[in-house]
Structure 1
Amino acid sequence: MSRIGKKAITVPGGVNITLSGQDVAVKGPKGQLSWKVVEEIEVRQEGNVLHISPRGETQRHKAMWGLSRTLIANMVKGVTEGYETTLEMVGVGYRAAMKGANLSLQLGFSHDVDIVPPEGIKFEVPKQTEIKIIGIDKQVVGELAAKIRKIRPPEPYKGKGVKYAGEKVRRKEGKKK
């Protein structure tokens, strides 16, 4: 039995959930998200509570049960509060700036790296060495943060590069004479 799948999802005020077949649409103050639930899972709404249950007892049914519950809960949280990921840049000359809605990064290459935000994503640059990625879809926010980090990941000798806020870079000892 899935412990996560058993938990009911309480829908806060101001959020509308529409169920049509296997499609779940969540609309809230920050925007709207939709997702097609797999056939193995059944979604029921009773008042302001959503219940997710499997339609069988196979391993796939159990796996999809917890996953579906988590994805729908993330959609509800996204349209009410939203998601934010912070990246930090460490290194001499590494900095970020906004060019309109686009993000321009100087990461030690011979050229600037410009990043166009996907639909529903917003960048903020509170400091030159800090980037905030804000959006309502948790998957898109996390994926974009990973892509930006992959441009110049932190290296183990000096710790230079782009890292998540609070990430500990495991350092190596340099050459000895």
Structure 2
Amino acid sequence: MSRIGKKPVQVPAGITATVDGQKVTAKGPKGELFFVANDEIKLELENNAVSVTPVNDSKDARSKWGMSRTMIENIFKGVKDGFERKLEINGVGYRASLQGKNLQLALGFSHDVVYQTPEGITIAVPKPTEIIVTGINKQQVGQVAAEIREYRGPEPYKGKGVKYAEERIVRKEGKKK
């Protein structure tokens, strides 16, 4: 039994949610998102809450039950507050800047890396060593942050590279004489 799936998702104040068959649509101050559930999941909107239940007791239906509830909760949170991911840049000469909507990264390569910002995502650079990725879609925000980190991930000896703000790098000891 899914402990997460049992609990209905409350629709926050200021958000209008509609359930049309397998599709849940949420409209809020930040925008509009939708989630289409699998056919093995049943969705109902009652008492200003969306309840998620599996259609049958198969392993496949039960495995999609909790995930569907979490996805619905994420679209509600996204249209109300949005999501944010912070990245830090460590290393001598490593820095970030914005050129229009594009992110320009100096990461020790012979050239600057230019990252095209996708639609629906906002990138801010308050300091040359800090990048903030924001948007309403949690998956897309995480994907963009991962793509930026991938250009030069943190290395374990000096900690140079792009890392998540909350990430802790396990440092290794260098060679001994």
Question: Normalising by the residue count of structure 1, what TM-score does the alignment of the two structures yield?
Answer: 0.97
Structure 1 CA distance for aligned equivalents of residues 174 and 13 of structure 2: 56
Deviation at 1:173, TM superposition (A): 0.9
How far the C-alpha of 1:118 sits from its partner, in A, is 1.3
> Is 1:115–2:115 an aligned residue pair?
yes
- 2:20 aligns with 20
Q: Counterparts of 1:134 and 1:26 in 2: how far apart (Å)? A: 19
1:130 has 2:127 as partner: no
The corresponding residue for 2:80 is 80
Work out whether residues 21 and 43 of structure 2, in 8 Å CA contact, stay in contact via their aligned partners in 1.
no
| AA of the residue aligned to 1:56 | N
What is the match of residue 172 of structure 1? 172
Moved more, 152-161 or 11-20: 11-20
Letter of the 2:153 counterpart: P
Aligned residue in 1 for 2:8: 8
Q: Which residue is 2:57 aligned to?
A: 57
Provide structure 2 residue ranges, at least 5 long, that are not aligned to the other structure.
Answer: none
Aligned position for 1:44: 44
- In the alignment, which residue of structure 1 is the partner of 2:32? 32
Contact 2:18–2:45 under 8 Å retained in 1: no
Question: How many aligned positions are there?
Answer: 177
Instruction: Return the alpha-carbon distance in structure 2 between the equivalents of residues 115 and 48 of structure 1.
Output: 41
Q: Distance in 1 between matches of 2:29 and 2:3?
A: 30
Shift of 1:47: 3.0
Post-superposition offset of 1:166:
2.3
What secondary structure sits across from 1:158 in the alignment?
coil
Segment of structure 1 superposing worse, 38-47 or 15-24: 15-24
- Runs of 4+ in structure 1 deviating by more than 6 angstroms, as ranges, are none
| 1:30-51 alpha-carbon deviations (Å, 9 max, x no partner) | 0011121100001100131111
Deviation at 1:174, TM superposition (A): 0.7
Q: Which amino acid aligns with 2:8?
A: A
- C-alpha distance in 1 between matches for 2:25 and 2:10: 15
Q: CA deviation at 1:53?
A: 0.5
Letter aligned with residue 122 of structure 1: T
CA–CA distance in structure 2, aligned partners of residues 166 and 50 of structure 1: 32
CA distance in 1, matches of 2:28, 2:108: 41
Listed as ranges, the gaps of 5+ residues in structure 1 are: none
SS of alignment partner, residue 93 of structure 2: coil
Q: Following TM superposition, by how much is the alpha carbon of 1:18 offset from its aligned partner in structure 2, in angstroms?
A: 1.9
Q: Greater CA deviation, 151-160 or 17-26?
A: 17-26
